[in-house]
Chains A and B, each alone.
Chain A
Amino acid sequence: MLLGIIDGILTGGVYALMASGLTLIFGVMEVISVAQGIFVILGAYLSYSLEAHFGIDLFLGLFITIPALFIVGIAVEWAFLRRLKAQERIAMSILVTYAVFLIIEGVLNIVYGTNYFALHAWYVTQSVELFGVYLSYIYIFGFLLAAGLLAALYVVLYRTRFGASVRAAMQDRTAASLVGVDVRRVSTITFGIGTAVTAAGGMIYGATNSFNANSAEDLISRLLVIVVLGGLGSIGGALAAAVLMLVIEDVVAVVWSPDWATVIFFLALVAVLSIRPVGLFGRQAARAQ
């Protein structure tokens, strides 16, 4: 039980990081980036390659993989999402990012094959005792990394000029552009940032789970559940929902069975949405005109 709770909080932090990118992208661009799941796996494979071929430590490797995924994100936004029309934007964005998902999945399958991979480092294999529970170091390091990056994200959003533009665009794209915010540029950079966080998320995911390209499907559906549960576009909501959901899942996994834990995970969304259609922390629809 205690193991479940601690485990849930630690992994919840990592999911919170990945989900915050997704919800940030939605908030600014009205785009649901289904590709987020495969970006995470891409990040994990990149970390693997750097470690296996060049002996670069997983955490050090992030200095390469985070910028790499930032560039991938910008490229995707520039090449595809920018061209979407306002009408049916959300639906179209899902389809476009899903196509990106499929292409990357295919490429990863060809490059790495379909066997399961795992990331290796001393902190993955060694454990430490915490509150009477044995945990691999990676869970703690991963949580700290996620917390650090989320804090950095917070600073960028709330303490910089760029962050003010992002928040303005989240409130109202048209109004933001009227007061001189370059919404296009903000969107591109936001998509880059939202994607870049998956590099860190992917490294930790890869170190705590065995994965192949197919894992992205399970991952993205979880991230979507978290984001919707937290209220689309609400970063705080995504954080809370991520931790809450992972704690519930891990506790159920410990006290009942891992299989049903996943069912509970998805059913929780169904239950919450049937009571509160806007999610736990979502804003009510804006006041009617």
Chain B
Amino acid sequence: MVRRIGIGVWSVIFVLLALVPVIEGNPTFTSIGVFTLIFMSSASAWNGFSGYSGYISLGNGVFYGTGAYALTVIALDAHMAPSGDIFWLVPLAGLIAAIIAVPFGFIALRVRRHTFVVITIAIFFVFQLLAYNFSFTGGSAGLLPPTPNWVGNTYNDPFYYVAFAVLVFTVLLFWGIRRSRFGLHLLAIRDDEDRARGLGVKVLRIKMLGFVLSAFVTGMGGAIFAFFIGQVYPQYAFDPVFGITVALMTFFGGIGTISGPLLGALLLEPIEQYLTIQYSVGSLYLIIYGALFLLVILFMPRGLVPTIGDWRRFVRVHLAQRREKVLPAKGDAVVGDDVAGDVPAVTTGMQ
């Protein structure tokens, strides 16, 4: 029942998201929208691997940066005209990020979980340094991808819709994975990897595939990002905060759930963008972000979505009990049915 309500609520949210540029054409607003959509995909992608498998990656910035550079370098090398055609490079950039994920995963996925976290950080810095040091990335001067000469208030709209399409693809992908046997195996790996292996689960391949799919989506996000802001620098494309941001969004919303990362990004990214615009120094934003992070982990360690589930259940049970007290005249069986019918449905819906 809750699952059905959840799908209903998300359908409404997605329809609203699709209509944002029509309803509110203000460029500041749609620009925040583009970033929000990119982070909704990226957080879902992070959750689709790290949340499902329990291998916490703080190096997803590698894929974001790779996607950003891939689109830029290809567009420049192919002398592409500054037009919407460049959007066709987005899936290609995702593919390149996915290819990068293969050797990355091959090294990182064979170590123990807590070592994995650290090795993702290390590999991330290797990539950032490479971006500084290689010549085809433009070094610290960065690169400027072709900027379309669209004018006026609708400049952001194509980016918005491409990001939206990527998001829809992402949600369907990870929703499908959650229901597939592959998804079941990822979750089994999270709970007891050795045991899953002993039951014939091909753990390395399963982890690898999850990692690669996550990289693909994140790379597409990075590509849109680069094209949208019209510049790539090592410190922004390979942003150390990226990896922790998608993790925070997922934890905030509820790790391991489909809605969690979407909700987390939908709530946090606009705040982040707003704070960045409002306080350009960014220091206050760091403090607010850190404090928020601490509050979430200490008071809702399971995240928003499961916590809301708890509250709903609490309120329902509570209400049902009160109704029982207030309306003793009504047949016991009816009230009993009500309680029995509602509560277990909520319980199952949460899992």
Q: Mark B262-288, 1 if CB is under 8 A from A, else 0.
A: 000000000000000000011111110
B323 at the interface (CB under 8 A from A): no
The residue on B at minimum CB distance from A271 is B107
Asked if B215 lies at the interface with its beta carbon under 8 angstroms from chain A, I say no
A interface residues (Cβ-Cβ under 8 A, vs B) = 32, 80, 83-85, 88, 90-92, 94-96, 98-103, 105-107, 109-110, 217-218, 221, 224-225, 227-228, 232, 259-260, 262-263, 266-267, 269-270, 273-274, 277-279, 285, 288
Partner of B110, one of A94, A95, A277, A285: A277
Chain A residue nearest to B117 (CB atoms) is A94
Task: Decide: A91 and B115 in contact? CB cutoff 8 A.
Answer: no
**11 interchain pairs, CB-CB under 8 A:** A95-B244, A96-B293, A98-B293, A99-B294, A103-B291, A109-B281, A109-B282, A110-B281, A224-B118, A277-B110, A277-B111
Which of A91, A106, A267 touches B126 (beta carbons < 8 Å)? Answer: A267
Residues in B with CB closer than 8 Å to A32 are 114, 117-118
Interface of B is mostly: helix
A98 to B121, CA, bound (A): 13
Distance of A112 Cα from B267 Cα, bound (Å): 31
Cross-chain contact of A270 among B58, B123, B293, B301 (Cβ < 8 A): B123
Query: Known: A110-B284, A259-B129. Contact between A94 and B56, CB under 8 A?
Result: yes
Nearest B residue to A220, CB-CB: B121
Judging by beta carbons under 8 Å apart, are A221 and B112 in contact? no
Complex CA gap A225/B112 in Å reads 15
What's the minimum C-beta distance from B297 to chain A, rounded to whole angstroms?
6
Closest chain-B Cβ to A80's Cβ sits at a distance in Å of 6
By DSSP majority rule, is chain A's interface helix, strand, loop, or mixed? helix
Does B148 lie at the interface of the complex (its beta carbon under 8 Å from any beta carbon of A)? no
Asked if B84 CB lies within 8 Å of chain A CBs, one says no
A228 touches B118 (CB 8 A): yes
Q: Which residue of A lies closest to B111 (CB)?
A: A277
For B132, the closest partner residue in chain A by CB is A259
Which residue from chain A places its CB closest to the CB of B124 in the assembled complex?
A221
- Interface mask (B98-128 → A, CB under 8 Å = 1, otherwise 0): 0000000011001111110111011111100
Knowing A263-B130, A266-B122, the reply to whether A90 touches B290 (Cβ < 8 A) is: no
Residues of B within 8 A of A83 (CB): 298
Interfacial chain B residues near A96, Cβ < 8 Å: 293-294, 297-298
Q: Is A266 in contact with B126, judged by CB distance below 8 angstroms? A: yes
A102 and B290 contact, Cβ closer than 8 Å, known pairs A90-B114, A262-B129, A263-B126: yes
Is the pair B297, A95 in contact by a Cβ cutoff of 8 Å?
A: yes
Is B251 among interface residues, defined by CB-CB distance under 8 A? yes
Is B114's CB under 8 angstroms from A269's CB? no
Interface centre among A88, A91, A96 (most CB of B within 10 A): A91
Option from A84, A99, A269 in Cβ contact (under 8 Å) with B122: A269
Candidate in B54, B113, B121, B122 with the most chain A CB atoms within 10 angstroms: B122
Q: Is B240 an interface residue (CB 8 A)?
A: yes
Q: Say yes or no: B133 contacts A263, CB within 8 Å.
A: yes
Could you tell me if B290 and A106 are in contact, using CB atoms closer than 8 angstroms?
yes
User: Which B residues touch A277, using CB under 8 A?
Assistant: 110-112, 115
Do B291 and A99 have beta carbons less than 8 Å apart?
A: yes
Q: Which 8 A-B pairs have the closest CB atoms?
A: A106-B286, A102-B290, A106-B287, A103-B290, A109-B283, A99-B293, A99-B290, A277-B111
